[in-house]
Structure 1
Amino acid sequence: MFEQEGCIWCARWEREIGVAYPNTEQAARAPLTRFDLRDKLPDDISLVRRAHITPTFVLLSDGAEVGRIEGHPGGDFFWFLLDELIKKTTGTPAEN
């Protein structure tokens, strides 16, 4: 997750989803690592393009970008979009 200080959408994501995320099947399959938008990324991470808005969620497989969710689409849409990304790596969605 790319975030930045003062991002109201990051704060909203945290309130609506972030507090529950660690306890979900999605978190078991896609653990959340947080980066400041301006952080230098580790050498073993390969993105299609740099994140420019916050929050941006990038799903990685073996360090390479599989897909991303840009912005905060709201709770229902976030879980749906995340499950679609997870399906790209595993062939099956996470169970809620």
Structure 2
Amino acid sequence: MSRPVLSALLLLVLSGLPGRPAPALELVMVEQAGCPWCARWDAEVGPEYPLTAEGRAAPLRRIDLHAPLPEDLILDSRPRLTPTFILVDDAGRELGRIEGYPGEDFFWGLLGILLDRAEPERDGQD
């Protein structure tokens, strides 16, 4: 078969497959313009975050501190400072949060704790 025919067949097969499911977890970053700690997180963690196991398990979603809270989020309380990182499940319910940015090493450790705590809750949903 020629290359264009194979490409067309592959496209046809892939178009019939169901879409990727929504991630079971999401990490919501609450930020605001001019926040130096948000900028530091962006420089130290931001570029590598989506490439890590943590980033794949809980993709990042950014929201502004001063904007209305998205209706699909069910938080324990409104964030007060930036950055605040809130781990939510697929229903938008808060599972835990990190208030402030404690530096790259501490951030990864604290995020790991949140993700580990989320596992039993996710296992119970199956």
TM-score by length of 1: 0.90
| Residues in 1 aligned to 2:94 and 2:67: alpha-carbon distance in whole angstroms | 17
Cα separation, 2, equivalents of 1:57 and 1:35: 10
Does 1:82 find its partner at 2:108? no
Correspondence for 1:66 among 91, 95, 117? 95
SS across alignment from 1:34: strand
CA distance in 2, matches of 1:56, 1:68: 7
Correspondences of 1:30-49 after superposition (within 5 Å): 30-49=58-77
Give CA deviations for 1:4-40 in whole Å, capped at 9, x if unaligned.
Answer: 0000000001111111101111011111000010121
Q: RCO greater where, 1 or 2, for CA within 8 Å and sep 6 or more?
A: 1
Aligned amino acid, residue 104 of structure 2: G
Give the aligned length: 91
**Whole-angstrom distance in 2 between the partners of 1:44 and 1:8:** 28
Q: Indicate the structure (1 or 2) with the bigger Cα radius of gyration.
A: 2
Residue 30 of structure 2 aligns with which residue? 2
Q: Distance in 2 between matches of 1:31 and 1:9?
A: 20
Structure 2: gaps of 5 or more residues: 1-28, 121-126
Q: In structure 1, what residue type is equivalent to 2:107?
A: F
Choose which of 9, 14, 38 in structure 1 pairs with 2:42: 14
Residue 44 of structure 1, CA deviation:
2.0
The structure where helix makes up a greater share of residues is 2
Deviations 1:69-88 (A, max 9, x none): 01110111100000110111
Listed as ranges, the gaps of 5+ residues in structure 1 are 92-96
- The CA deviation at 1:42 is 2.1
TM-score, normalisation: structure 2: 0.70
Deviation sequence 1:28-68 (CA, Å, 0-9, x none): 11110000101212222110010110000000012110000
